[in-house]
Structure 1
Amino acid sequence: MSLVGRQAPHFEMETALGNGEDFGQASLSDYKGKYLIFFFYPLDFTFVCPTEIKALSDAVEEFKDLDTEILGVSTDSKFSHRAWIATSEEDKGLGGLNFPLAADYKKEVAEAYGVLNDEGIAQRGLFIIDPEGIIQYQVITPDSVGRSVDETLRVLQAIQAGGLCPANWRPGEEML
């Protein structure tokens, strides 16, 4: 079921911060007044997940320029997140991030967003939540397919443009 156009389900979760040392908290209300790229991924210490997580981390300044924050979440614990962030890339870790990873250990948030699979693991889902807490975009992909940072940026820019944007629209191009 699509959540687009609906109020984003509330969440409060513990996080592992991008420095790989500290813990924090994140809730939907923390992002009020900003756009949020809220994405789910299956598990820490896997194969496709680090490619997209690092790609989003590398693009964090582009998102910040668009008044947008990023929060990743899986059903792993905050301790697993911290260990994965702190582990070097050479040793199959993330080697630091520019945003936190939230722990949906009870699986309540993944269920509320419709991405919890039958095995109790979050599917690869991405949501763009606007400053008023309304979901403007959602995409769920197979676990074997990483998401495109460029496409996420393009969709965010199209949403922020506030008009009718044709396929492959880019900022500066005509809208319909």
Structure 2
Amino acid sequence: MQTLVGKKAPSFHANAVINGNQIIEGFSLDQFVGKQEVVFFFYPLDFTFVCPTELIAFQDKLADFEKRNVAVVGCSVDSEYSHFAWLNTEKNKGGIQGVTYPLVSDLSKTISENYGVLASEYDYDAEGNATSTGAPVAYRGLFLIDKNGIVRHSVINDLPLGRNVDEAIRMVDALHHFEENGEVCPANWTQGKDAMKATAEGVAEYLSK
């Protein structure tokens, strides 16, 4: 699978639920180009187990993304009607009531496929060729898309492995720091820590501290 990092994010128009209670047609990330960065993330299915913890975690940190002028958008292979039902189910009953950022329906699975996150079960023939045998869902993929519509960061987790939302915020901060200061961000960098110039001297200076 080829990475999307450094490339234009695949465009789509799809049904979605916005504000937790409104189904719309033709939702697209194109609306954010030139205006906001986007954290676009995939999850396997509505009404499952790890997924609500992630979606609620993104909602809990939504204000942190918004103050950085970053839109958060989720996507799975469920229908918009499934999204709507899950969004209107109480948390103590397995729902995600209170989530307000958009949830995109990828019922055709083409968005997941274009972003390289479509998961399935596979059988292999004697020559090692894979054939899908399961019902495809999306891996836990996350893509940070800049204001020009270019993917600047991506991470893909297997189905059992939940993500760290604070790491997504850290990557937003790193991108903003680079764009505003021209400095690159070393390992484990967080906002407020020293970055460095992308030169041999800059690396030496940083490592000597």
Q: Same fold (TM over 0.5)?
A: yes
Deviating above 4 A after TM superposition, structure 1's stretches of 4 or more consecutive aligned residues are none
| Paired position in structure 2 for 1:24 | 24
The TM-score, its normalising length taken from structure 1, stands at 0.96
* Equivalent pair of 1:17/1:82 in contact (CA under 8 Å): no
User: Which residue is equivalent to 2:175?
Assistant: 159
TM superposition score normalised by structure 2: 0.81
CA distance in 2, matches of 1:35, 1:14: 21
Instruction: Measure the CA separation in 2 of the matches of 1:133 and 1:154.
Output: 19
Between 1 and 2, higher relative CO (CA 8 Å, sep ≥ 6) is seen in 1
Distance in 2 (alpha carbons) for counterparts of 1:93 and 1:144 = 19
RMSD of aligned alpha carbons: 1.0
Please, which of 147, 150, 153 is the counterpart of residue 131 of structure 1?
A: 147
Secondary structure, counterpart of 1:165 in structure 2: coil
Q: Aligned with 2:5: secondary structure?
A: coil
Gaps of 5+ in 2: 121-134, 197-209
Distance 1:131 1:24 in 2: 23
**More displaced 10-residue stretch of structure 1: 105-114 or 8-17:** 8-17
Give percent identity, aligned residues only: 40
Matches of 1:96 and 1:18 in 2, distance apart? 9
Q: What are the residue-to-residue correspondences of 1:19-58 with 2, within 5 Å?
A: 19=20, 21-25=21-25, 26-32=27-33, 33-58=35-60
Q: CA deviation at 1:173?
A: 1.2
Q: CA deviation at 1:17?
A: 2.2
Match of 1:84 in 2: 86
- Tell me whether 1:94 sits opposite 2:96 in the alignment: yes
How big is the shift at 1:95? 1.2
Q: Spell out, residue by residue over 1:145-172, the C-alpha distance to the aligned partner (whole angstroms, 9 max, x if none).
A: 1111111100110011113111111112
